[in-house]
Structure 1
Amino acid sequence: MSETKTWMCLICGWIYDEVLGSPEHGIAPNTRWSDVPMNWTCPECGARKEDFEMVHI
C-alpha cells in the first residue's frame, strides 16, 4: 500500500484519515479517499466529498 493521506472538511474541519477510515460512518479502515462513495457526506456538517482537501498532519 502506498502512502496514505489525510483529508479535511473545508467547512467544519473534520478529518478523514485513510488508515483509520470512519467505521462508525460506514467507511472501513484503509479505505482510500478515491474509494469513498461520491454520495458520502461529512458526518459532522453534511458537506460533500468535493468540500474536502488533502492535508499533511
Structure 2
Amino acid sequence: MAAPEQMWQCQTTNCGYIYNPDKGDRKGKIGKGTAFEDLPEDWKCPICGASKKAFRNLGTA
C-alpha cells in the first residue's frame, strides 16, 4: 500500500475520495503507479468531478 504522503484526499463536501497511486484511476484511464503529481492538469475526481486543487496530501495531515 502506498505511504500516506503518496495519497491525496478530495476535500469537497460529501466526497472524501482518496487517490492511491498503487491503484490509479480506472475510470479516468490513469494507470497503476501514477503519482498524483503526474496526473494531467485536467484530471478530475472520479466521484465528484473536483479538480486536482480540491485535493490535500494525506502525509501532511
How would you bin the TM-score normalised by the shorter chain?
Answer: 0.7 to 0.9
Structural RMSD (CA): 1.6
Q: Which runs of 5+ in 2 are unaligned?
A: none
Using the size of structure 1 for normalisation, the TM-score is 0.82
State, as a whole percentage, how many aligned pairs show the same letter: 35
Aligned to 2:55: 52
* Alpha-carbon shift at residue 24 of structure 1 (Å): 2.8
Question: Which stretch shifts more, 16-25 or 46-55?
Answer: 16-25
Task: State the Cα deviation string for residues 1-57 of structure 1 (Å, max 9, x = none).
Answer: xx671110001100100111112321100001111000011111110001001114x
SS in 2 for 1:25: coil
Aligned to 1:23: 26
Matched residues, number: 54
Using the size of structure 2 for normalisation, the TM-score is 0.78
SS in 2 for 1:8: strand
